[in-house]
Structure 1
């Protein structure tokens, strides 16, 4: 980004190009009149697809009208969208920053692995483009669509600051940022630097007799607030067995520095992430000694 030039921001997500979180983010950025805004996002919901990519066939791209932005809907995954958006195959230049979101539901702890939203930012990181993923802690019955606009507005200072900072050689290029905005965004407690924790929703399976019986989980894999269309017809033949996911409890963090705990306390959490999480130190030490002894260990058949 050259001095005096407006920063170019590429927006993607996993909830789809028509999702209210993405539209609120784009509108908020456009209304500042500080950025050139590009959009390259899935043409339909791609929640919890993780970092999947389309490999065996081409993806379809269609230009769509979003006021103030140049926007395309893509038949691929969030990682596909980010990759295409920074490739110069679709847009003439590489964006200065990629922002993935705003996701409907938090992305903390181990759920980061499942998240298509985080994958969009991670893919940009793979391509050496600074990136951020943003999620809002949507709670059914408490949240409303205006909260997405508030979430976008509280993140604009971070977006603006990064666009300034990436011009400096000291800006760290070996990470990207994952941001989670608390449910009560209007009364948030400010930004807090956190680390990825180990929180996770434990999920099991139950057998169902129809596809309509198994409700669809939302992006954070906890809420079941997406209803099946009334005119939905099952395409599964009678001889197939059907199984639906269901929530069976959770494992939560108690460390004050982790993303999930801080988010629930009302902070806007900012967690630097790398491509892959480094293994715990004690695991590294164990396997260093263990590997040296492998040739001396007995075979399973002799135990």
Structure 2
């Protein structure tokens, strides 16, 4: 397989996502990257919606790979997860090269009737755990490839399809700067970046280095008589906040003996300060370095340091 015609020594960027290869966010980012004529662009993305699959991988079954036409790029749709796409795309098994940078252009669809970024609503701290977007970047990090996960904070009624292009353009300086550091061999290899772009991206307040927030919105479950889309996530092409697409009238026929449950928000708390969530709400493009794993809080480490030595001296649960 040949890379882009006339590519020369241009940096190689691989693009993936968790919304699927037809998602407008991915297509907008690829178009913006190609339009600069500065990069070799390859795409290795899921063939369908794979939001909120976390770092799941396909282990037992082979992956189906299909060539997809995307102008200016070499693109493949993969039957696996975002982490699968990244692993395959950086392995040299599919492409004859290892990318210099992996990009994740995704406005995440976390649960039915929501369309959001990696820093907003639901589980702000845990969101990076659920996110297939972040998992794709993390997988690249595991394989020694610099990676950036990017999300636009879509809000139904305020956002429009052109905002994806504006969001991609707003990230070009960061992409260019990262590639320059990689070329100079000065880019840090101990982390990867998660970037969130505010809803009003044309009037953003600039880039802001933030830390991963600990805010959390608590969720529960409620039993329903029918499930919209049979419980299947809606694509980002039709997703809107409070969308009427999630009504019982659109539900698939479910056998009566099956019980159905849907998630619902039941309140929560928001952490203020210099966090990704708060800064995004203020209109900044947040840039948050992430590691492979989240370490335990210092006070937890201290507690268990005192607790563990005495465990063997305590009676077992069977003796209580």
Cα 1:213–1:173 shift into 2, 3 Å:
closer
Deviates more, 1:182-191 or 1:193-202: 193-202
Task: Work out the CA distance in 1 between the residues paired with 2:49 and 2:199.
Answer: 22
Task: Work out the CA distance in 2 between the residues paired with 1:299 and 1:229.
Answer: 51
**Partner of residue 3, structure 2:** none
Is it true that 1:83 corresponds to 2:94 in the alignment? no
Deviates more, 1:67-76 or 1:166-175: 166-175
Per-residue displacement from partner, 1:179-211 (whole Å, max 9, x unpaired)? 000111111110011111112332211111112
SS in 1 for 2:107: strand
Query: Is the 2:41–2:73 Cα contact (8 Å) retained in structure 1?
Result: yes
Cα 1:123–1:225 shift into 2, 3 Å:
farther
Query: Is the 2:149–2:193 Cα contact (8 Å) retained in structure 1?
Result: yes
**Partner of residue 144, structure 1:** 160
Q: Where does structure 1 differ by over 4 angstroms across 4 or more consecutive aligned residues?
A: 213-222, 228-233
Per-residue displacement from partner, 1:144-179 (whole Å, max 9, x unpaired)? 111111110010111111111013343210100000
Cα 1:118–1:224 shift into 2, 3 Å:
farther
Task: Work out the CA distance in 2 between the residues paired with 1:11 and 1:269.
Answer: 20
**Partner of residue 252, structure 2:** 234
Per-residue displacement from partner, 1:264-284 (whole Å, max 9, x unpaired)? 011100000001111111111
**Partner of residue 281, structure 1:** 298
Displacement after TM superposition at 1:292 (Å): 1.4
Aligned residues, how many? 299
Aligned CA-pair RMSD:
2.5
What does 1:49-64 correspond to in 2, within 5 Å?
Answer: 49-64=53-68
Identify unmatched segments of 5+ residues in structure 2. Answer: 1-7, 109-115, 120-124
TM-score (structure 2 length as normaliser): 0.87
**Partner of residue 118, structure 1:** 134
TM-score (structure 1 length as normaliser): 0.91
**Partner of residue 118, structure 2:** 107
Deviates more, 1:11-20 or 1:164-173: 164-173
**Partner of residue 95, structure 1:** 99
Cα 1:90–1:226 shift into 2, 3 Å:
farther
Query: Is the 1:13–1:103 Cα contact (8 Å) retained in structure 2?
Result: no
What does 1:177-192 correspond to in 2, within 5 Å?
Answer: 177-192=193-208
**Partner of residue 5, structure 2:** none
SS in 2 for 1:295: helix
Is it true that 1:271 corresponds to 2:288 in the alignment? yes
Identify unmatched segments of 5+ residues in structure 1. Answer: none
Query: Is the 1:176–1:274 Cα contact (8 Å) retained in structure 2?
Result: yes
Is it true that 1:295 corresponds to 2:306 in the alignment? no
Task: Work out the CA distance in 2 between the residues paired with 1:60 and 1:269.
Answer: 35
Query: Is the 2:14–2:42 Cα contact (8 Å) retained in structure 1?
Result: yes
Task: Work out the CA distance in 2 between the residues paired with 1:117 and 1:132.
Answer: 10
**Partner of residue 111, structure 2:** none
